[in-house]
Amino acid sequence: MDDNAVAIVTGANSGIGRAVAVHLATKGFRVFGTVRQRASANKLLALAEGAHISIELVEMDVANDESVSRAIGEVLDQTGRIDVLVNNAGIGTNGVVEETPPSRFLEVMNVNLCGAVRCTQAVLPSMRARATGCIVNVTSVVGRFGAMAQAPYVASKWALEGASEELALEVAPFGIRVAIIEPGVTKSAIFAKNVDVPNSSGAYGAQYRRMLQMYATGIPNATDPFEVAEVIHHAIATDQPKLRYTMSWGGDGLVNGRASLSDQDWVAMGAALDDADYYRRFEAAFGLAIAPP
């Protein structure tokens, strides 16, 4: 990327998005950080000031067609180019399949999947015209396996994984690169907002309990989002790109552990009736000791 490279980072007001916006700006990118409301970006602007860099804010709601079209259009009008799009904006939610209304699935899909699609569609024509560009989609390790009691979130991240892989094939002839970023547990406000355990039927107490216990272990060990930002910058700048990058607490262990398990063994782990047995199996499979002390 040259010195005039322009990057758009969605969901730049917190967590990974904020770190990516700041980190790319320190690397010389002209960064436009999208936020739903400018008032929510005070910490982002303070970090930018402390790093002696500039980040330009753009109000955008990735869940709204008109908002995305307007915001991306504003950036193109100002710069004439978009070199990098980091689709980071997303929401989390808990819920087992039986108890989660289809409307909730659609709400999460509209942000986590369709939001990335909207932004991608808005930047691709100009990237194709210039025969260059990089689209970075932030998914999750749970886009690679079924993390129980998070059904809408898991479904949305699996969907984004599939769309991203297809996109990579489709745009390769135009000189456009796609990178899939799969963080494990990373310091982010998303966890504080995602503590609901609906369990309306009362039948899924063990599933919610085990899911929360994994995060209770992971959150104190959560990876600094600037480490994810460094990986994203590498994915953009390297001359030996990969399609997928896994990082953060639990990342490699979860993805590689699931890949090494047969489907039958994976389902059998979920069938464990005793929590202690489940935690033993989990540690054996993934190398992560999540049992409560």
Q: Which residues are known catalytic residues?
A: 153
Q: Is the dihedral of CA 194, 164, 21, 76 positive or negative?
A: negative
Provide the 8-state DSSP code for 185.
B
| Strand-by-strand arrangement of the 176-183 sheet | 55-59, 30-35, 6-9, 84-87, 133-138, 176-183, 244-247
Residue 292: count of CB within 10 angstroms of its CB: 10
Helix axes 15-26, 42-50, angle to 10 degrees: 30
DSSP string, 215-281: HHHHGGGPBPHHHHHHHHHHHHH-SS--SEEEESBTHHHHHHHHHHS-HHHHHHHHT--SHHHHHHH
